[in-house]
A and B are shown apart, each in its own frame.
Chain A
């Protein structure tokens, strides 16, 4: 084929190296998915998982555990982790700041505040969780809606401020930091005054946990993640242009302001959905993109898919470890993401730019 002749051979090798990173990531996701479904209170052999999934029989106990508990949880970890990671890529790129993530911009504190307001107003009740059966949240949907509302509200405020003061990254980040502090203060005030039961619910809500999602929540998170993934991939050259400098990007015909605002909205929608349903899962959105920047570079053609699988794998591993490390007790996955991700990240920082 002409293409093979025209592209320099070493460039081809270089591209296939990056593609192979993504393929390895996909393979790791599949393996981790099987492992994740396999381990737990009832351990299920992997061949049985495969036969159950592909309808080859299997016991009804396995079937129920796999379809009702393990698979939704594993898929939620994949969708949420991948979504948070690509949201992080988008925010870091459009805000031109390596520290930008859905959480640096105050989304998580806003969501936590929203959930606290929900719990405060609508009282205690029950919600499904594998972590703390003692803790109850009444009207989980109103709590979720309230968390989602405040997370999106944060983004809207940031964008409005950016609109008035022109959409520079500095404006957006500073506004995000200010709003974040505001909601943290509000959350502290609520926690200070509520009764013990509600305080427990509020604190419990904040521990991110992928077990909270059923098929419906999983569907919504997946939908949001996939739509944004397609948008981000479609805009990969725009993001690369912005990386080369704002004026260069404009010179290449990119509407930088619009790309910045839509990128922010898309990233916020993913994060708000994930946080509202699952609670706060930090670190994935910040660190997965950086891990992949070290491995495949800043080229968004590779960075977006690579971060996608990296987020999926990291959250999947974290969840699996969280469920098994101190079994029969279960750790919140949010604790594990940092415990597992931070050492890897530090290693990559130390090893960076090796010749």
Chain B
């Protein structure tokens, strides 16, 4: 099983760089073969990937955390990285903007090789929202302004202020822009962090569990905001998630990880109870509710 899968990953990786379109077709084929899921979303050709992760390996001390990861994300697309705790989801995300240095492999952003760029240059192209955000005694406005840091020289320019103001308005933070962020609720803080990543004007957005520790209402609110940003700014987005149903609802493609490897990659219709069972080790039913797949644990 493992051999077969890694072979498939390998071939799909090779194809991906030459013909992204073909890769996608071949990929779908794989899963039809594996899980017998028909595809109905592939009438229009997918855009070529903007962010390309190629052959990434990551080791923490001697333990190998990521093994030959290859994945591409297109503009306007949300890729959800799924898998159990400790499988390397966050590690993969951090490798994508080189917060963690992969042992081998390259990360390409279009023609740019991120692996060879400085942290500041990467930050001009890739926005990142960490899972844990500390709240210092800074105002919402200044916290968002911090997102302009990669672009700011010695002085903040009018251009920076304009971008920040517009983003604050877009995220509905105008009323609280002079409040200190250590007085905000979890959902509000998450919105500030997302807004900060947006003012970096990135073409790629990386989100590490954007909904963790939020209530249901705030989860929906923040994911709607993310979806909105992705659609309007046309950014390629990758987010790690624990909640499968929220992921299914808001993401376009799904990358399931197991033991530091890619176990499966599919779109909404490709998510099957079999994949989830293999990855998470529990029995589930995938049912359709209002044409939306829902994962329900059995027993």
Contacts and interface: CB of A to CB of B under 8 A. Distances in A.
A255 interface: yes
A8 B161 CA distance: 9
A8 B158 CA distance: 12
Interface stretch (A78-86, A156-164, A291-299): A291-299
Contacts of B143: 244
A7 interface: yes
A293 B138 CA distance: 10
B94 A247 contact: yes
Contacts of A253: 118-124, 149-150
A207 B234 CA distance: 63
Interface string A210-254: 000000000000000000000000100110110111011011111
A285 to B, nearest CB: 19
B119 A2 contact: no
B177 A8 contact: yes
A254 B119 contact: yes
A96 B152 CA distance: 24
B136 interface: yes
A241 B119 CA distance: 13
Nearest to A251: B128
B146 A297 contact: no
A310 to B, nearest CB: 16
A10 interface: yes
Contacts of A122: none
B130 interface: yes
B127 interface: yes
A298 B134 CA distance: 12
A243 B133 CA distance: 9
A193 interface: no
Contacts of B147: 252
Interface string A1-26: 01100111011001000000000000
B106 interface: no
A240 B97 contact: no
B162 A252 contact: no
Contacts of A255: 119
B158 A2 contact: yes
A11 B178 contact: yes
A14 B178 contact: yes
A98 B133 CA distance: 17
A3 B149 contact: no
B208 to A, nearest CB: 8
Contacts of B161: 3, 6-7
B193 interface: yes
Interface string B203-230: 0001010000000000000000000000
Contacts of B123: 251-253
A244 B142 CA distance: 11
A245 B127 CA distance: 14
A8 B169 CA distance: 12
B282 interface: no
B138 A240 contact: yes
Interface in A299-334: 299
Contacts of A10: 177-178
Contacts of B146: 237, 240-241, 244, 252
Nearest to B206: A251
B99 interface: yes
Nearest to A353: B183
B256 interface: no
Contact of A245 (B132, B150, B154, B162): B132
Given A3-B161, A8-B165, A244-B143, A251 B136 contact: no
Interface of A: 2-3, 6-8, 10-11, 14, 96, 234, 237-238, 240-241, 243-245, 247-248, 250-255, 293, 297-299, 353
23 contacts: A6-B165, A14-B178, A234-B154, A240-B136, A240-B138, A240-B149, A244-B136, A244-B143, A247-B130, A251-B99, A251-B127, A252-B128, A252-B147, A253-B121, A253-B149, A253-B150, A254-B119, A293-B137, A297-B136, A297-B137, A297-B138, A297-B139, A299-B139
Interface of B: 94, 97, 99, 118-124, 126-134, 136-139, 141-143, 146-147, 149-150, 152, 154, 158, 161-162, 165, 177-178, 180, 183, 193, 196-197, 200, 206, 208
Counting from the closest, the 5 A-B pairs by CB-CB distance are A251-B128, A253-B123, A253-B120, A243-B136, A247-B130
